[in-house]
Chains A and B, each alone.
Chain A
Amino acid sequence: MASTERSSKQIADRIEPGYYRHMHPMRLIRFGLSLGLSLLALAWVGQAYVRGDETIYANGPVAAAHALFETECRRCHEGQFQGAEDAFCRACHATPAHVDLDAVSDAPAEPACAVCHREHRGRTGLDAVSDAHCNTCHVQHRDYVDMDSHLDFEVQPHDQHLQFNHAVHLDSKLLEGPLDCGSCHEPEEGGHRAIAFADHCAHCHAERLDDELPDIRVPHGQQPDALRTWITATYLEVMRADGTLSRREGTGGVETPDWAQTLVRRSDAAMQGLLEPGRKRGCLICHTMIDGAIVPPAMPASWLAKARFDHRPHASQVCAACHEVANSRTADDLRLPGIANCRDCHRPDGASDACHTCHKYHR
């Protein structure tokens, strides 16, 4: 191929002087796109401002419970460089303080709500605090990475001062027919209704004053002194009613002297019937008496010292799956299942095994 020789001037002459003053179409498109997109972004922000919707600035969706006011940042945030303050939380949530802070090695005096309950992490519940978060302060539990490494349950001290025999109560030979767990342990929100004498025991265990007065029941929950006062007053009424306590003529209403002896005798007999050890009836078949006083039974709301167990999610299980009480003969025999019983279901690919599932940080 031949070459057409050109001088440098000829080549330079090809370029228009001042060509750079005209914007090339590609530059023009670039500029137009830059300007257009920037204006579009400002319009988007502007319309959100006009509508009063501040959701676009949020660092992620708020928890489902707060979604109603997520368009208003000021509902939780106030002032510059300020996170959500506790006062905003407590305006709606009258929550007790974090429990057992003194037991935590390097815990702050009282962590702010937002320290544990991290917002803007999606439509999840704020109570779902991560295990790692708990272990920030609970350093002693960092080794409990799962249910397998978790220590067994710690049970509340349980000197209940109560005698109770599960085996007898579940026996089919009972005069009133066999009981089942639900006869006494009635589920209610958060656990079981406290067992009360009037509701759960009185049907069989209500004490009569004596065999001659089968309709008069001894009030439950009285100490011996108060009980004697009640018994004496009751017998007095009975004696007045049946004429044992008659008035002598012409004495201005003074009773005959033998009535008092009768009253004391009957009262002593009743007290003995109620409080004599070794009998098959009376107060002491269930209660303990120390130094002349009946010790009230002490049953904690939860037997677990550091955890809470909610029976409701476990309602599909029969009671005996966890509590084998058919052979239990004393109240001290709690028959609480160990943690091994939980491991079958509470595992990473099963029911939750997070700390907060059982350990409630607010009490």
Chain B
Amino acid sequence: MLLNRSHRGWALLFVVALTIATGWYLRDAARQPDGPSGGTATGLGFGIAGTFCIFFAALLGVRKKKPQWRVGRASTWLRGHLWLGALAFPLILFHADFRFGGPLASLLMGCFWVVFLTGIWGLMLQQILPRFMTRLVPEETVYEQIDHVRGQLLEEAVALARGKGPRRAVARAKLAGAIKGRVVESRAAIEAEDGDESRRPLIVFLDERMRPYFRRGGARGTALVNRYRREALFEELKAQVDPSLHGVAEDLENICEQRAQLMTQRALHHWLHSWLLVHVPLSWLMIVLTIVHAGMALWY
């Protein structure tokens, strides 16, 4: 989510709440010669407020799972997640008097630090990477469907190289053993029907250059990965085929370009979301430990 003017209200709330909390903490610190403690009324207040913010931030996950619930827009929840999550951090530090405490509290505080820092990291990435995505991946697709689309692009390439329409090629590819839209092996079927020698360079290029490039996870190390080399190879291909097939060669190049975009999209997506592999599990761990910590702290 981009931090823009739509965040003004939340930002104001954050600043006001942080100012009040800081003032309250400093006032309490001045009165407590050994420093404030989480067990005093003020310390407990910070703890309760911080826990509320943490739980609200955590509810974003539930809100995303249940979009049909009429509990406010997802974007509002996301803004709340950002700003209340950020507010929780100083509140909990005030609650703990900037100390780590015992084993449980230390683990909890360690988790909180990591969750907070990964959240900041994720927010920074969200400000930058989507712009790259728009510029570098104009034909962005659903991330989960990248492999599926990659298979379809290969099928289109096969059909183009053989001089058949894409739809027919897909149907034939599926007959030849494609599973869930991914071409497993259609080369035999294609070659069996191929009788036009003028298309031979296209088919050879397809088999030797494009198939490795379209193989899942195998694109790296192939010649087509490099943009400049890719352009040079297609120039060579055009020189080998009849001028009437130059349009087909350009279409194949375009398909390779889309494959490159899919690779870029995957890489950017990993940057955009890999931090969640740390942020989300540690958030869950933090919530479990917070419940235990709060329960035991209130008991004693």
Q: Do A and B come from one complex?
A: yes
Residues of A within 8 A of B (CB): 1-4, 10-11, 14-16, 19-20, 22, 24, 26, 29-30, 33-38, 40-42, 45, 54-61, 73, 77, 80-83, 118, 120-121, 130, 132-136
Known interface pairs A19-B142, A19-B145, A37-B285; A30-B102 also in contact (CB < 8 Å): no
CA distance A135 to B293 in the complex (A): 33
Q: Do A55 and B103 have beta carbons less than 8 Å apart?
A: yes
Q: Do A14 and B273 have beta carbons less than 8 Å apart?
A: no
Q: Do B144 and A20 have beta carbons less than 8 Å apart?
A: yes
Q: Do A16 and B148 have beta carbons less than 8 Å apart?
A: yes
19 new A-B contacts, CB < 8 A, other than A10-B166, A42-B288, are A3-B254, A4-B251, A15-B141, A29-B277, A36-B281, A37-B284, A38-B284, A41-B107, A41-B289, A57-B102, A58-B101, A58-B103, A59-B38, A59-B39, A80-B299, A83-B39, A120-B101, A130-B33, A135-B33
Name 24 A/B residue pairs within 8 A (Cβ), A-sorted.
Answer: A2-B251, A3-B254, A4-B254, A10-B166, A14-B148, A15-B145, A16-B145, A19-B142, A26-B277, A30-B276, A30-B281, A36-B281, A37-B281, A38-B285, A45-B292, A56-B103, A56-B104, A57-B300, A59-B37, A59-B38, A59-B297, A80-B298, A132-B33, A133-B34
Residue B152 at the A interface, CB < 8 A? yes
Q: Do B105 and A59 have beta carbons less than 8 Å apart?
A: yes
Q: Do A33 and B277 have beta carbons less than 8 Å apart?
A: yes
Residue of B148, B156, B276, B300 with most partner-chain A CB within 10 A: B300
Residue B177 at the A interface, CB < 8 A? no
Known interface pairs A14-B148, A15-B148, A80-B299; A2-B181 also in contact (CB < 8 Å): no
Q: Do A133 and B104 have beta carbons less than 8 Å apart?
A: no
Residue B99 at the A interface, CB < 8 A? yes
Q: Do A60 and B145 have beta carbons less than 8 Å apart?
A: no
Measured between beta carbons, the chain A residues less than 8 angstroms from B257 are: 1
Measured between beta carbons, the chain B residues less than 8 angstroms from A81 are: 298
CA distance A30 to B283 in the complex (A): 11
CA distance A42 to B104 in the complex (A): 11
CA distance A3 to B253 in the complex (A): 9
Q: Identify B273's interface contact among A3, A20, A26, A58, CB under 8 A.
A: A26
Residue B149 at the A interface, CB < 8 A? yes
Nearest CB of chain B from residue A116's CB, rounded to whole Å: 9
CA distance A20 to B289 in the complex (A): 31
Which residue on chain B has the smallest CB distance to residue A114? B39
Q: Do A2 and B105 have beta carbons less than 8 Å apart?
A: no
Known interface pairs A15-B141, A19-B148; A34-B280 also in contact (CB < 8 Å): yes
CA distance A59 to B299 in the complex (A): 13
Measured between beta carbons, the chain A residues less than 8 angstroms from B135 are: none
CA distance A81 to B296 in the complex (A): 10
CA distance A294 to B38 in the complex (A): 62
Which residue on chain A has the smallest CB distance to residue B249? A2
Q: Do A60 and B101 have beta carbons less than 8 Å apart?
A: yes
Residue of B33, B99, B101, B289 with most partner-chain A CB within 10 A: B33
CA distance A2 to B257 in the complex (A): 11
Q: Identify B254's interface contact among A1, A73, A132, CB under 8 A.
A: A1
Residue B255 at the A interface, CB < 8 A? yes
CA distance A166 to B297 in the complex (A): 63
Residue B247 at the A interface, CB < 8 A? yes
Known interface pairs A24-B144, A38-B288, A133-B33; A61-B102 also in contact (CB < 8 Å): yes
Q: Do B148 and A73 have beta carbons less than 8 Å apart?
A: no
Measured between beta carbons, the chain B residues less than 8 angstroms from A2 are: 247, 250-251, 253-254
Measured between beta carbons, the chain B residues less than 8 angstroms from A73 are: 300
Known interface pairs A24-B144, A56-B103, A61-B102; A16-B181 also in contact (CB < 8 Å): yes
Measured between beta carbons, the chain B residues less than 8 angstroms from A130 are: 33-34
Nearest CB of chain A from residue B91's CB, rounded to whole Å: 17
CA distance A35 to B273 in the complex (A): 19
Known interface pairs A41-B289, A133-B33; A57-B104 also in contact (CB < 8 Å): yes
Q: Identify A58's interface contact among B102, B166, B284, CB under 8 A.
A: B102
Q: Do B250 and A1 have beta carbons less than 8 Å apart?
A: yes
- Which B residues between 155 and 172 are near A, CB-CB below 8 angstroms? 156, 166
CA distance A3 to B180 in the complex (A): 27
Nearest CB of chain B from residue A297's CB, rounded to whole Å: 42
Residue B282 at the A interface, CB < 8 A? yes
Contact mask for chain B residues 241-283; partner A; CB cutoff 8 A; 1 contact, 0 none: 0000001001101110100000000000000011011001111
Nearest CB of chain A from residue B291's CB, rounded to whole Å: 10
CA distance A62 to B74 in the complex (A): 46
Nearest CB of chain A from residue B178's CB, rounded to whole Å: 13
Which residue on chain B has the smallest CB distance to residue A3? B254
- Which B residues between 11 and 35 are near A, CB-CB below 8 angstroms? 33-34
Nearest CB of chain B from residue A3's CB, rounded to whole Å: 6
Measured between beta carbons, the chain B residues less than 8 angstroms from A118 are: 34
Nearest CB of chain B from residue A262's CB, rounded to whole Å: 77
Q: Identify B281's interface contact among A10, A33, A83, A133, CB under 8 A.
A: A33
Measured between beta carbons, the chain A residues less than 8 angstroms from B293 are: 57
Nearest CB of chain A from residue B137's CB, rounded to whole Å: 14
9 tightest A-B CB contacts, nearest first: A2-B250, A132-B33, A33-B281, A34-B284, A133-B33, A58-B102, A57-B296, A37-B285, A34-B281
